[in-house]
Copies of this chain bind each other. A is one copy, B any other.
Amino acid sequence: MLKFKLLKQSNGKKDFEKSQARIGTITTDHGIIDTPIFMPVGTLGCVKAMSREDLNLCKAQIILGNTYHLYLRPGCEVIEHMAGLHEFIRWNKPLLTDSGGFQFFSLAKLAKFTDEGVSFQSHIDGSRHFFSPEKAVEIQMILGSDIMMSLDWCMGYPASEKQAMDALNKTSMWAKRGFDFWKEKGGVNNLFGIVQGGMLKHLRSLSAEQLTRIDFPGFAIGGLSVGEPKDLMYEMADHTLPLLPVNKPRYIMGVGTPEDLVELVGMGCDMFDCVMPSRNARNGQLFTTFGTVNISNAQYRFDKAPIDTDCDCYTCRNYSRSYLRHLYKSRELLAYRLNTIHNLYYYLDLMGKMRDAIKKGRFLEFKKNFYSKRK
């Protein structure tokens, strides 16, 4: 069972007067997570191109799995037989799984949403399946996730007020059903609720109000970063985060760039996940203290320097831009791994630096310094 300990929270004084940044710890059965934290995405039970040891080198404290994907492949029966996702993938730190809600919206074929749940066709073989809010929890219990997510109803951008209202009502109803099922089954591990409400503040307020009536161990904000302008995303986050309980973890799903993390930590968010660092790594886009490096660029052909002179990751300690460019241009599999190690280390190190700055009451100073170095 999760315990969230808030170690430091905005108090309106000094450094904190312009920031809601906070630090804390989440204790799970598989270990303690320092917040704010970034969670690498391991869709199919593997953070792409990374081994467990690589993730440890990157200082990963918790990783994500995707319920929809794992349910279809290898299938719950396999993971159940292998004694759960931790044992199957041999990861002994905390795991969070999403509910499938986002994939029904983004990936599954012919998804049909009713009050009861979602019927859909596999994007792999077209086979038909049905998820209810109870089933989404049941599957995640089989996976053995330390943090499970309620089934939610996702929308794209833009959406009408009616669509947003429908989706949030369904999400709230499903959240309650999932929560009741989870409690009935013993309330093992943790289940988070997800706030929806599109890009309308009053709907975000309504969703937060409905959700926080349920005693979830933590809350997420879903439906952001779905195509809306950046300012609107920040506006929604800034509006919604304060509506969530101070004494529980707050998680913004599927976000974002390094700049997003800095902004949203400043608004009081504790948890993040995003495919960006790993996906962009595989596309040769590397995050650095000084901005983004596109490693395929000809300017790096003879470059003996590491990707980021300020970085202590395995890749930067060992390899030149010249060799990394060569590997990437040659489509060597090692390129994807070395790039991913760098990007994930960059993200997780950034979170560590933010935690440190918050601890020392220097978050705004950190933020200023962060932006000043970027091109």
B74 near A333 with CB under 8 A, answer no
Provide the residues of chain B in CB contact with A318, threshold 8 Å.
52, 90
Interface check A101, CB cutoff 8 A: no
Interface check A93, CB cutoff 8 A: no
Interface residue ranges of A70-90 to B (CB < 8 Å)? 73-74, 78, 81-82, 88-90
Interface check A322, CB cutoff 8 A: yes
Provide the residues of chain B in CB contact with A327, threshold 8 Å.
44, 46
Interface check A337, CB cutoff 8 A: yes
A51 near B323 with CB under 8 A, answer no
> A302 with B44: in contact, given A90-B323, A323-B90, A336-B333 (CB under 8 Å)?
no
Query: Quick one: CB contact mask for A314-344 with B, threshold 8 Å, 1 for yes?
Result: 0000111011011101101110111000000
Interface check A304, CB cutoff 8 A: yes
Contact of A73 among B49, B329, B338 (CB under 8 A): B329
Query: Quick one: CB contact mask for A228-263 with B, threshold 8 Å, 1 for yes?
Result: 000000000000000000000000000000000000
Complex Cα gap A302–B326 (Å) = 39
Complex Cα gap A52–B337 (Å) = 13
Instruction: Please name the residue on chain B nearest to A77 by beta carbon.
Output: B302
Nearest-CB distance from A284 to chain B (Å)? 15
A323 near B48 with CB under 8 A, answer no
> A334 with B90: in contact, given A78-B322, A302-B81, A323-B82 (CB under 8 Å)?
no
A326 near B90 with CB under 8 A, answer no
Contact of A332 among B44, B78, B334 (CB under 8 A): B44
Nearest-CB distance from A60 to chain B (Å)? 14
Complex Cα gap A301–B337 (Å) = 26
Complex Cα gap A106–B327 (Å) = 23
B333 near A333 with CB under 8 A, answer yes
Interface check A178, CB cutoff 8 A: no
Nearest-CB distance from A327 to chain B (Å)? 6
A334 near B49 with CB under 8 A, answer yes
Nearest-CB distance from A271 to chain B (Å)? 25
A323 near B73 with CB under 8 A, answer no
> A49 with B319: in contact, given A74-B326, A81-B302, A301-B78 (CB under 8 Å)?
no
Can you name 21 A-B pairs with beta carbons within 8 Å? A44-B330, A44-B332, A46-B334, A48-B332, A48-B333, A48-B334, A51-B334, A52-B318, A73-B330, A74-B329, A78-B326, A81-B302, A82-B304, A88-B320, A88-B322, A88-B326, A90-B318, A90-B319, A333-B336, A333-B337, A337-B337
8 further contact pairs, Cβ within 8 A, besides A49-B334, A73-B326, A337-B337: A51-B334, A51-B337, A74-B329, A78-B302, A82-B304, A82-B323, A88-B323, A90-B323
